[in-house]
């Protein structure tokens, strides 16, 4: 069943993306000849009004065929005024941006609803993990609740996100205030310990003393443990803000990875493709439907980001040349765009092959996609 549901999820993303193009084209008066899920000669099709709706055999995306995308095609005289290239640049930009816009809105709504339903993560005054061999290793355990540090209260019921972050920062400041006897050198231990009061859930409190260790790379004193996280209730405004922050982090990371393809082997190893996205969604469905929905939301965001790259035949390429025409004040020769499209394909195909290769290597090696 997970195979079918993952397929339907991907199909929904494609349909919604193309529906954005289709609705915008109809709204500005263009003629949409075909709305197709997948590529290739239609396996199934039917006509409603002037539009043919079809399903192709190659499941790598979809498309909306708008009359006049190629200015050299033969167009019936009665619809010639509705051809794509006879429209002003602003109408073409609206039609092209509508697809990625749907993906962005969908990603925002999915993440916002999940944050609203589940709350937002906040730092917790508890121990998440203890570094092996660190000063805290002999004194602290996972899930220890940090009650106080040097007499300063840390734990309290119903902390807000801001209050929890402030208390975590207070503890970090207490630890960093310690100094090594002979000066701050890599790996040195502080002269004075940090006194903590902690307890395991359901157990009595205990007092521990730990000598912080100086980390030269971070330039601060550390105890060697990470804080846990908890979920704080979120209303619609907080959930929306958290959704936007998550989208921004994913967008910047995606752009950095794409730029890194030109010089970083590590970035090239991180690239995934359609197979990886599908398999990650399928595996998530077997574990948790909510996780699968979150992954689909992030995939929707990634589709928008990649589609907005300024290379033909991607949506961003069409927007780039429409803007170039607006700035130039007259039509860009179609042969220029054809050559630009050829260059764009030469850039896209290696990226597609790299993503597919990485996906297959992860499947064959058993490395997986970080879901299980």
Q: At what angle do helices 89-118 and 289-307 cross, to 10 degrees?
A: 160
As a whole number of angstroms, the distance between CA 89 and CA 330 comes to: 10
| 18-27, 73-82, 89-98: segment of lowest average pLDDT | 73-82
Alpha helices, DSSP H, located in the chain: 2-27, 89-118, 161-176, 236-260, 265-270, 274-287, 289-307, 315-328, 334-365
Output the CA–CA distances (angstroms, integers) from residue 361 to 273, 355, 366, in the order listed. 12, 10, 8
Task: Give me the domain span that covers residue 60.
Answer: 2-117+242-365
Task: Answer yes or no: is 9 within a domain.
Answer: yes
Same domain, residue pair 254 and 360? yes
Question: Ranked by mean pLDDT, which of 94-98, 152-156, 336-340 comes out on top?
Answer: 94-98
Task: Answer yes or no: is 372 within a domain.
Answer: no
Q: CA Rg, the chain, in Å?
A: 27
Q: Is the pTM of this model over 0.85?
A: no
**Of 84, 78, 208, 83, nearest in space to 149 by CA:** 208
As a whole number of angstroms, the distance between CA 312 and CA 321 comes to: 9
Same domain, residue pair 207 and 246? no
Same domain, residue pair 113 and 126? no
Same domain, residue pair 55 and 150? no
* pLDDT for 371: 47
pLDDT tens digits for 167-194?
778 888 888 989 999 888 888 999 999 9
Name the one residue in this structure whose structure tokens are 């709305």. Answer: 35
Q: Is 338 exposed, middle or buried (0-12, 13-18, 19+ CB in 10 A)?
A: exposed
Is the model's pLDDT at 65 over the cut of 70? yes
Strand partners, 122: 230
Same domain, residue pair 22 and 69? yes
Is the model's pLDDT at 353 over the cut of 90? no
pLDDT tens digits for 290-300?
778 888 888 89
pLDDT class of 88 with cuts at 50, 70, 90:
very high
Do 97 and 315 touch, CB atoms closer than 8 A? yes
pLDDT tens digits for 121-150?
776 778 888 888 889 888 888 888 888 888
Share of the chain above pLDDT 70, in %: 86
Is the model's pLDDT at 360 over the cut of 80? no
Structural domain count of the chain: 2
Q: What is the 3-state secondary structure (H, E, C) of 282-318?
A: HHHHHHCHHHHHHHHHHHHHHHHHHHCCCCCCCHHHH
Is the model's pLDDT at 244 over the cut of 90? yes
- Among 182, 206, 232, the domain-final residue is 232
As a whole number of angstroms, the distance between CA 75 and CA 88 comes to: 18
Task: Answer yes or no: is 344 within a domain.
Answer: yes
* pLDDT for 358: 65
Element (H, E) at 230: strand 225-232
Task: Answer yes or no: is 237 within a domain.
Answer: no
As a whole number of angstroms, the distance between CA 274 and CA 277 comes to: 5
- Among 179, 206, 232, the domain-final residue is 232
Same domain, residue pair 129 and 168? yes
Strand partners, 148: 153, 197
pLDDT tens digits for 246-259?
999 889 888 887 77
- Among 194, 210, 232, the domain-final residue is 232
Task: Answer yes or no: is 227 within a domain.
Answer: yes
Output the CA–CA distances (angstroms, integers) from residue 9 to 140, 254, 314, 331, in the order listed. 44, 21, 22, 39
Residue 209 CA to chain centroid, in angstroms?
Answer: 41
Same domain, residue pair 269 and 213? no
Task: Answer yes or no: is 370 within a domain.
Answer: no
Q: Which CATH number is 144's domain given?
A: 2.30.42.10
As a whole number of angstroms, the distance between CA 105 and CA 10 comes to: 16
Q: At what angle do helices 89-118 and 2-27 cross, to 10 degrees?
A: 140
Same domain, residue pair 104 and 183? no
Task: Answer yes or no: is 268 within a domain.
Answer: yes
Same domain, residue pair 126 and 100? no
Task: Answer yes or no: is 203 within a domain.
Answer: yes
Strand partners, 32: 66
| 11-20, 70-79, 267-276: segment of lowest average pLDDT | 267-276
Angle at 257 between CA 251 and CA 261, to 5 degrees: 145
Same domain, residue pair 142 and 110? no
pLDDT class of 274 with cuts at 50, 70, 90:
low
Same domain, residue pair 211 and 279? no
As a whole number of angstroms, the distance between CA 258 and CA 300 comes to: 17
Same domain, residue pair 131 and 106? no
Share of the chain above pLDDT 90, in %: 27
* pLDDT for 123: 67
């Amino acid at each position: 069943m997970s195979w079918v549901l993952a397929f339907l999820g991907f199909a929904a993303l494609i349909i919604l993306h193309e529906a954005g193009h289709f609705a915008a084209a109809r709204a500005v008066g263009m003629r949409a000849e075909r709305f197709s899920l997948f590529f290739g000669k239609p396996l199934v099709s039917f006509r409603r009004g002037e539009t043919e709706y079809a399903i192709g055999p190659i499941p790598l995306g979809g498309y909306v065929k708008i009359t006049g995308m190629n200015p050299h095609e033969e167009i019936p005289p009665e619809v010639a005024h509705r051809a794509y290239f006879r429209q002003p640049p602003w109408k073409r930009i609206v039609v092209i941006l509508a697809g990625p816009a749907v993906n962005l809105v969908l990603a925002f709504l999915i993440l916002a609803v999940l944050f609203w339903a589940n709350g937002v993560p906040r730092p917790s005054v508890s121990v998440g993990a203890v570094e092996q061999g660190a000063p805290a290793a002999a004194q602290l355990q996972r899930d220890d609740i940090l009650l106080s540090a040097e007499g300063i209260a840390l734990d309290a019921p119903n902390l807000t996100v801001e209050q929890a972050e402030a208390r975590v920062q207070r503890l970090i400041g207490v630890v960093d205030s310690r100094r090594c006897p002979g000066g701050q050198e890599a790996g040195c231990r502080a002269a004075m310990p940090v006194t903590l009061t902690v307890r395991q859930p359901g157990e009595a409190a205990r007092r521990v003393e730990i000598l912080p260790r100086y980390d030269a790379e971070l330039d601060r004193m550390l105890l060697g443990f990470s804080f846990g996280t908890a979920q704080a209730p979120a209303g619609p405004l907080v959930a929306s803000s958290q959704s936007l922050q998550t989208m921004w982090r994913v967008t910047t990371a995606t752009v950095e990875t794409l730029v890194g393809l030109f010089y970083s082997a590590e970035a090239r190893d991180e690239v995934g493709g359609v197979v990886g996205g599908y398999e990650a969604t399928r595996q998530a469905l077997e574990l948790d439907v909510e996780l699968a929905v979150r992954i689909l939301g992030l995939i929707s965001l990634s589709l928008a980001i990649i589609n907005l790259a300024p290379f033909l035949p991607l949506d961003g390429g069409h927007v780039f040349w429409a803007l170039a025409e607006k700035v130039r004040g007259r039509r860009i020769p179609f042969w220029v765009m054809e050559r630009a499209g050829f260059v764009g394909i030469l850039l896209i195909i290696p990226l597609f092959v790299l993503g597919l290769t990485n996906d297959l290597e992860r499947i064959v090696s058993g490395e997986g996609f970080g879901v299980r």
